[in-house]
Amino acid sequence: MSGVGWDAAPSVASWPGLPPLAGDRSADACVVGLGASGLAAVEELVDRGLSVIGLDAGRVAAGAAGRNGGFLIGGPALFLHDALDRWGSCAVDLYRETLAELDRLEATLRPGIVRRVGSIRLTGLPGEPRDEAEQADRDVEVKDCDAHAAALRRHGIAVEAYAGPLGQGIYLPDDAAVNPAVRAMETAGRLEHRASLHEQTWVEGVRSGEVRTEHGAVRAGVVIVAVDGKLGRVVPRVARRLRTARLQMLATEPVAPGRLPCPVYGRWGYDYAQQGPDGRLYVGGGRDRFVKAEWTGSVEPSPQVQRYLDGIAGRMAGAPVAVSHRWAASVGFTADARPLCTEVAAGVIAVGGYNGTGNLVGPVAARAAVALALDGTPPAPYLAP
């Protein structure tokens, strides 16, 4: 019962792999990390006519990009009303950029990979509250959900009330679901003939004009480092600005079709699940319940969090359900929840720190990194320079 549930998809299971870097090379640009963010940077750079070398320590999307909940949700990690309070109106700009990124993704991947089914924010979890504390928390969350919906409406973002078999909350019709590993593999497959992409190539360090790896050095005028939770290890200069956390998930055996019509996140967004086309539930959460233990660079699932997720899986399924896979991955958190997009040496841009919601924000930050490197365009205020 270990391994990543998403990897059973045929296009992932049959991924032929990419060759490691072989000796010293040079290119106009080098991208470190081939998750969704790094691949967006590769795409942006080759679209501009640059020669690009892309490197990953493991497989494409070996990190969080291939191991996450597969929620493609508009906006930042914070709910919109909270982001507006903390960052001001630029939070709406980021929201719009993520929806544009989602449209782009849907248009570039094969039909059906991005499932434009919307998402549900539930107040609490499916089913009746189990005790008074859960009821009290849900009552508070109802008010927060109202504030969330009001902020969305005020800024012209689609939102509807949700009341149904799962409980109550709001429905966001623009959002979508994906198998995140399939998404990354498909993207890498489209790019591998336009860029020189290499797996199993550990990057030891970066500096202006050079990326040092276990298999040789890459000389490049532009270097984009897109390794999110591992950013502090590759670029020690940003280590103090970014904290690495472990997030955990599980996959269940198939349950009744249509149990979850779309990605569902409940209890302030801490617990979440989507039902894949294979009928399995992909369930994550609980980090707020185990905060201290989850500030770690380890990617081993822990018994405590997994036990908690067993309970969430049962709530999401509506009945106890057998688990088929368990896994974890690293993400980067920042102090004010704004992702980093920062030049750390001449021509070297580091991006990361998506606070657990980087499927769309990561590519937005990566494209901003390319604009900073090539055009000198300062990152928008929703990114921390």
Ligand X SMILES: Cc1cc2nc3c(=O)[nH]c(=O)nc-3n(C[C@H](O)[C@H](O)[C@H](O)COP(=O)(O)OP(=O)(O)OC[C@H]3O[C@@H](n4cnc5c(N)ncnc54)[C@H](O)[C@@H]3O)c2cc1C
State the residues that interact with ligand X by CB under 6 A. 32-38, 55-58, 61-65, 67-71, 202-203, 226-230, 234, 247-249, 284, 329, 331, 352, 354, 356-359, 362
Yes or no: say if 126 and 266 are a contact pair by the CB < 8 Å rule: yes
- Between 33 and 314, whose beta carbon lies closer to ligand X? 33
**Nearest approach, Cβ of residue 177 and ligand X (Å):** 9
**Token representation of residue 380:** 């928008």
**Nearest approach, Cβ of residue 131 and ligand X (Å):** 27
Q: At a CB cut-off of 8 Å and minimum separation 6, what does 39 contact?
A: 54, 60, 184, 187, 188, 191, 363
- Between 62 and 92, whose beta carbon lies closer to ligand X? 62
Q: At a CB cut-off of 8 Å and minimum separation 6, what does 358 contact?
A: 36, 37, 64, 65, 68, 228, 331, 339
Angle 209-223-211 from CA coordinates, rounded to 5°: 60
Say how many C-beta atoms besides its own lie within 10 A of residue 37's C-beta: 32
Beta strands in the chain (DSSP E): 25-32, 52-55, 71-72, 119-122, 160-164, 167-172, 176-177, 196-198, 203-207, 210-213, 216-225, 243-252, 264-266, 271-275, 281-284, 323-333, 340-345, 348-352
- Between 229 and 347, whose beta carbon lies closer to ligand X? 229
**Nearest approach, Cβ of residue 42 and ligand X (Å):** 11
**Nearest approach, Cβ of residue 116 and ligand X (Å):** 15
Say how many C-beta atoms besides its own lie within 10 A of residue 314's C-beta: 18
**Nearest approach, Cβ of residue 202 and ligand X (Å):** 5
**Nearest approach, Cβ of residue 128 and ligand X (Å):** 26
Q: What is the C-alpha to C-alpha distance for residues 259 and 372, in angstroms, rounded to an integer?
A: 44
Q: What is the C-alpha to C-alpha distance for residues 273 and 71, in angstroms, rounded to an integer?
A: 9
- Between 125 and 226, whose beta carbon lies closer to ligand X? 226
- Between 54 and 209, whose beta carbon lies closer to ligand X? 54
**Token representation of residue 19:** 């060759």
**Nearest approach, Cβ of residue 352 and ligand X (Å):** 6
- Between 150 and 385, whose beta carbon lies closer to ligand X? 385
- Between 103 and 134, whose beta carbon lies closer to ligand X? 103
Yes or no: say if 130 and 311 are a contact pair by the CB < 8 Å rule: no
Residue 377 half-sphere exposure, CB side, CA atoms within 13 Å? 13
**Nearest approach, Cβ of residue 203 and ligand X (Å):** 3
**Nearest approach, Cβ of residue 150 and ligand X (Å):** 23
Yes or no: say if 222 and 30 are a contact pair by the CB < 8 Å rule: yes
**Token representation of residue 84:** 């507006």
- Between 302 and 359, whose beta carbon lies closer to ligand X? 359
- Between 84 and 329, whose beta carbon lies closer to ligand X? 329
Q: How far is CA 112 from CA 16, 190, 219, 362, in A?
A: 22, 16, 39, 22
Yes or no: say if 222 and 374 are a contact pair by the CB < 8 Å rule: yes
- Between 2 and 131, whose beta carbon lies closer to ligand X? 2
**Nearest approach, Cβ of residue 204 and ligand X (Å):** 7
